[in-house]
Amino acid sequence: MSDESRKPPAPRVQVIRRPASQAPVRPVPVTPVVPVMPVVPRVAPIPVPRAVVSPVSPVVPAPASPVVPRSPQGVTPRPAPVVQVASVSPFVVERATRPLGARSSSLRGPPRSSTPRAPPTTEAIAALAKRERVPNRIAKGELEGKMKCRVWKKLHAEEATRFDQAWVLAEANADLELADAFGVVQSGLSVPEFLARRARAKKREAIKEARATVATELVDGFVNRFVEEHLEAAFVLGERTILDVLKEVQPVAFELERTGRVEKLNVVALATRGIWERMLPTLDRDPRLSHKPAPVARQPARRPVNDPRPFLEHVGKVITVNLRNGLSTHLTLRGVGPFDVLLGTEADELFVPLHAMMSWSVG
């Protein structure tokens, strides 16, 4: 078979013819209807009159004969228009005239007095502190115009409670100051225990001040001579005597060539070997302390002799010194240092620390 016989049959097409008498219909364009909004007339804002304060201009004297312009004949001058100004409140005037950023006077309080306030007296501060149960610094602040006492007690409730307890202790003990009463509350100790500890602290401060007022040249020169001249010295301790050469002087100890380090608190006296051997048979002894020397307290405030100032007025006089190992000397006071004294003469000098003394007296 051929290819033409294999093709499918063509579809049937129906042709419809339009009558010749009927004209073609053309589409009519449709115009969209736009809604028209009513036009509202625009109203111009009404200006608010403001009062303009012009700066004060200097007064210029008027001329002797002012010149008045003449109007031409037959022409009537037109009167000036009269402008009615509405009344303006003082607040608007002030707001318009004050500089930018300045606060209104109506928002501020009354002006402060230019005269300085008188400082509060001590009696007024103490009375307010006692009435409000607060420390004196808070009462002084309130009298100076600062924080009120009641505000401070609200902000610092725990501290205010402790000060209230301190005021109770101060009122119960007439000799107890408010600062000490507050210390009792803070430490948890009893009043006698706190006062004893307070007395020891004051004594320590007094000893420091006393040592700072005494010169050190004489005693330091005596000790340094052992190091410079390599002299053999006798270091008298509580129960024995060391014969050695002083190599170095440290803040709290002596460094010896053969023995090594010896703490200064253990030394009772210091002299050259020859002077000590001549002086030892002439000294008095206490059998009890010779057998068992008295210990040395680490705290200077607990030692029997700790203040060098009483010795200053007796320089050149014979004094009696009782040492903690039982020895007693009757020698002339030659010099005083912050921690030690020099006894004897220039040829026979004896170095005695204050911590080695049990007692001393003049004569």
Alpha helices in 156-295 (DSSP H): 157-172, 178-187, 191-212, 217-229, 273-279, 287-291
Rounded CA-CA distance 311/317 in Å is 10
Task: Select from 290, 343, 291, 289 the least CA-distant residue to 315.
Answer: 343
CA atoms in the 13 A half-sphere facing the CB of 75: 6
CA distances from 318 to 1, 112, 330, 341, 353 (A): 166, 73, 6, 13, 17
Per-domain boundaries in the chain: 122-188, 217-362
pLDDT at 41: 58
Q: For every one of its 363 residues, what pLDDT tens digit does the chain have, with 9 covering 90 and above?
A: 455 556 666 666 666 666 555 555 565 555 555 555 555 556 556 665 565 555 545 555 555 555 555 555 555 556 555 555 455 555 444 555 555 555 555 555 556 556 677 888 888 998 888 898 899 899 999 899 899 999 999 999 998 898 888 888 888 887 788 888 888 888 888 888 888 888 888 888 888 888 888 888 989 999 999 999 998 999 999 888 999 999 999 989 999 999 999 999 999 999 999 999 999 998 898 888 888 899 999 888 889 998 999 999 999 999 999 999 999 999 999 999 999 999 998 888 999 999 999 999 997
In CATH, what number does 217-362 get? 2.30.30.100
Could you tell me the pTM of the whole model? 0.55
pLDDT at 23: 53
pLDDT at 347: 82
Rounded CA-CA distance 312/219 in Å is 14
Rounded CA-CA distance 206/137 in Å is 27
Residue with tokens 């007439």: 174
The SS3 of residue 305 is coil
Q: Cα 83–88–89 angle (5° rounding)?
A: 170
pLDDT at 275: 92
pLDDT at 341: 93
Rounded CA-CA distance 199/301 in Å is 10
**Is there a contact between 210 and 312 (Cβ–Cβ < 8 Å)?**
no
CA atoms in the 13 A half-sphere facing the CB of 163: 19
Q: In the chain, how many H helices and how many E strands? A: 12, 11
* Token output for 174: 């007439």
Rounded CA-CA distance 175/259 in Å is 53
Judge residue 70's burial from the number of C-beta atoms within 10 Å of its C-beta, 0-12 exposed, 13-18 middle, 19 or more buried.
exposed
**Is there a contact between 304 and 358 (Cβ–Cβ < 8 Å)?**
yes
Task: Select from 200, 170, 202 the least CA-distant residue to 183.
Answer: 170
